[in-house]
Amino acid sequence: MKTLLKQREIWLLLAIAVLIGLVSTRYAAFASLRNLATVFNDTSILIILALGQMVVILTRSIDLSMASNVALTGMVVAMINAAYPAIPVPALIVLGACVGLALGAFNGLLVWKLGIPSIVVTLGTLTIYRGATFLVSGGAWVNADKMSPTFIGLQRAQLLGLPLLSWFALAAIALFYLLLTRTPLGRALYAIGVNPTASVYAGIDVGRTTFVAFCISGMVAGICGYLWVSRYVIASVEVANGYELNIIAACVIGGISIAGGIGSVGGAVLGALFLGLINNALPVINISPFWQMAISGGAIILAVVLNARGERRQGRIILKKAEAT
């Protein structure tokens, strides 16, 4: 029982349940399955992006350019759809994934080959990709009237009572779970985060694996470029502006350690859902948006404190002492 209660996912589930219960006292329909399904759908893009960010954070890196990647790939696919509406939407999604992959690979190459810290690289590409969005579009917007009905409607289509956007998120959860728990790449990602030096002696190419992690995060952002633009039916330079903070917050709240090597798919999903519930619940009970920001920030600080305490567990201490020796 004690081991169970030490798991971050259990505490997050309890916090989510308490939040739903408190809001339900003011608005009973909030706890209905239909409304919770809507909240999940609203949070789906954040869930997918948090999973992509998690892969990078596990390697002791960070990708601050994901939101700018979303904006640029979203603009590219929207402009192509506006100019050539006959192109099938799945082809545009694949194109977005390829563009996002290229942007992520650029980040990964700079980190791998030049040895530049990831926070510096992605802080620079954050601005580069946002500026490229303006250059590609000439500062113009692509609005709903320029997008084809299939481009807008695909992820709104229903399957077994859920929008396809929710199914995108569920598929991402399943794929990332398999990647991180059932593949050599997943084990390598965790190993690098725990101890990069020992990983080299274990035969893991740390630089190449980190590069692959950035490619994955870039490809995820590219897919979300289409999902974002088609959901909110607008492509502009301001798309997802500042959203990188939400992505990282979801990971931190979900127990993914910034120091690398610690985290789970379930934690990332619950962290994103916690933020999604806050964003959906607080307006229902007429709480100011500024208080929403304060509550989200408080949750992030609390999560960092809990993460720091978790990293002082006996296993981590022994590892650090061994490294020092």
110-158: pLDDT as tens digits = 999 999 999 999 999 999 999 999 999 888 888 888 888 888 888 778 8
Convert 273-288 to b/e letters by CB count within 10 Å (16 or more is b): bbbbbbbbbbeeeeee
With respect to residue 107, please indicate whether it lies within any of the assigned structural domains. Answer: yes
Which residues, 6 or more positions from 99, have their beta carbon under 8 angstroms from its beta carbon? 72, 73, 76, 77, 222, 225
With respect to residue 175, please indicate whether it lies within any of the assigned structural domains. Answer: yes
With respect to residue 44, please indicate whether it lies within any of the assigned structural domains. Answer: yes
Distance (Å, rounded) from C-alpha 247 to C-alpha 37? 20
Under DSSP, the state recorded for 114 is S
Query: Which residue range(s) make up the domain with 177?
Result: 35-240
Q: Tokens 């919770």 label which residue?
A: 36
Which residues, 6 or more positions from 101, have their beta carbon under 8 angstroms from its beta carbon? 215, 218, 219, 222
Rounded to an integer, what is the distance from CA 309 to the centroid of its chain? 24
With respect to residue 251, please indicate whether it lies within any of the assigned structural domains. Answer: no
What would the two tokens of residue 207 be?
A: 């630089």
With respect to residue 309, please indicate whether it lies within any of the assigned structural domains. Answer: no
pTM higher than 0.95, yes or no? no
With respect to residue 162, please indicate whether it lies within any of the assigned structural domains. Answer: yes
Q: Please list the pLDDT of the chain residue by residue as tens digits (325 residues).
A: 344 334 667 878 888 888 888 878 777 777 788 888 888 998 999 999 999 999 999 999 999 999 999 999 999 999 999 999 989 999 999 999 999 999 999 999 999 999 999 999 999 999 999 999 999 988 888 888 888 888 888 877 888 888 889 999 999 999 999 999 999 999 999 999 888 888 888 888 999 999 999 999 999 999 999 999 999 988 889 888 888 888 998 998 888 888 888 888 988 999 999 888 888 877 776 776 667 667 767 767 776 666 665 555 544 433 444 444 3
With respect to residue 277, please indicate whether it lies within any of the assigned structural domains. Answer: no
Neighbours of 183 (CB within 10 A): 11
Give Cα separations from 51 to 54, 60, 309 (angstroms): 5, 15, 23
Contact 100, 219 (CB under 8 A): yes
With respect to residue 174, please indicate whether it lies within any of the assigned structural domains. Answer: yes
Rg (CA), the chain: 20
Domain count for the chain: 1
